[in-house]
Amino acid sequence: MSTAIELVTTQTVTIDHELRLESGRLLGPLTIAYETYGELNAQGDNAILVTHAWTGDAHAAGRHHEDDRKPGWWDNLIGPGKVLDTDKYQVICSNVIGSCKGSTGPTSINPATGRPYRLNFPIVMVRDMVRAQKLLMDEIGVTKLVTVIGGSMGAMQALEWGVVYPDFVRSIIPIAGTGRTSPMAISLNALARQAIYNDPLWKKGNYKPEHPPMSGFALARSVGHISFLSEESMALKFGRRFSARDGLFDLFGQFEVERYLEYNGNSFPSRFDCNSFLYLAKSLDLFDVARETGSLEDGLEPLACPSLWFAFSSDWLYRPEQTEEVVEALRQLDKPVEYHLIESDYGHDSFLVEPEKFTPHVAQFLGRLEG
């Protein structure tokens, strides 16, 4: 019988040496925030790395305090007897560099100036995030990963793990992912960026933390949030219902879906840093596993381990065809690959909203690895 994770604490490590980024710039020292669930065995080879999405964090399971209203973002997958079984594995989730949730990012102090990096922070690629995670694995004694599993930007990290460290991972599980970001996804991020840039409070990234560019940032988040949903989920949740508090013929009256987007957009700036949002959006835009090789097949050639891929029928941000492009390339390379298209009405967010639809496949996959 599965039970809940007990109270957890987000930990940090500081790595004193510098990491050479894909851009050629050096970044260091590095602080990396992470959480662990379950115990690492003496060999250091029973670890599973969970990788988070765009504005996620290291808090994947459990609660920080008894009165926490919500557990970690993938709590229903992680714990004793659950799919990522902490009786068998040590499950690790780390915050990516470039974020504002404990790891080194634009809000961190630049050792060269003694002031926050802000826009002096270097561009970080998904591959750089993975190299920083490898430094964390070395620091905490992990010698091999059973799997790397994550959705969206987490899927990109999982894929990069398999390509960059083929001898360190036994498998990868990318969910709602792609091998390269599409022009449509890039264009949506461009709209979000312009919303922030046009807010006079942004001040070219030099805003005061207590006075962020609320209006532009809220609009940017709303643009992103729409892409995480689907027409089906919006119809189910809101339909064409008009707000009961507004007059139908009031120019400023709102549909319920408008109020929802407004609420989510306005609440987000209190939880996330605007510059970090911009840097991570750029990381997403630049992601292309074939950036150096030119062809997808050549980019995927180093991947040696089994991979389990999921796409969702209503996802229009990273459409199933984009996942299938990678899966087909792996099949052409005769790599061990498994793929499932999951029927869901919840769009790109399906991996967070309906995990029960794909977790049986994850359990079977991990079972075969153990066998």
Q: Is 152 a catalytic residue?
A: yes
* CB neighbour list of residue 62: distance below 8 Å, 6 or more residues apart: 4, 5, 6, 7, 8, 35, 37, 71, 72, 75, 78, 79
Rounded CA-CA distance 260/264 in Å is 6
Question: Burial of 218 by CB count in 10 Å (0-12 exposed, 13-18 middle, 19+ buried)?
Answer: buried
Among the listed residues 171, 168, 140, 143, the one whose alpha carbon sits nearest the alpha carbon of residue 158: 171
Catalytic residue among 94, 103, 108, 152: 152
Backbone φ, ψ for residue 211 (5° rounding):
-135, 65
Q: Are strands 47-51 and 145-151 parallel, antiparallel or unpaired?
A: parallel
Q: Phi/psi at 116 (nearest 5 deg)?
A: -55, 145
Residues forming beta bridges with residue 85, ordered by sequence position:
79
Is 215 a known active-site residue?
A: no
Q: Do residues 145 and 170 touch, judged by C-beta distance below 8 A? A: yes
Radius of gyration of the chain (CA): 20
Q: Which residues contact 274 (CB under 8 A, 6 or more apart)?
A: 196, 202, 207, 212, 213, 217
Active-site position among 273, 283, 348, 349: 348
Catalytic residue among 57, 85, 315, 345: 315
Q: How far apart are alpha carbons 253 and 256 in whole angstroms?
A: 10
Residue 262 CB contacts under 8 Å (≥ 6 apart), including other chains: 218, 222, 254
Which residues, at least 6 apart from 13, have a Cβ–Cβ distance to it below 8 Å? 31, 32, 34, 136, 139, 140
Cis peptide before 29 (omega within 30 of 0): yes
Which residues are known to be catalytic? Answer: 152, 315, 348
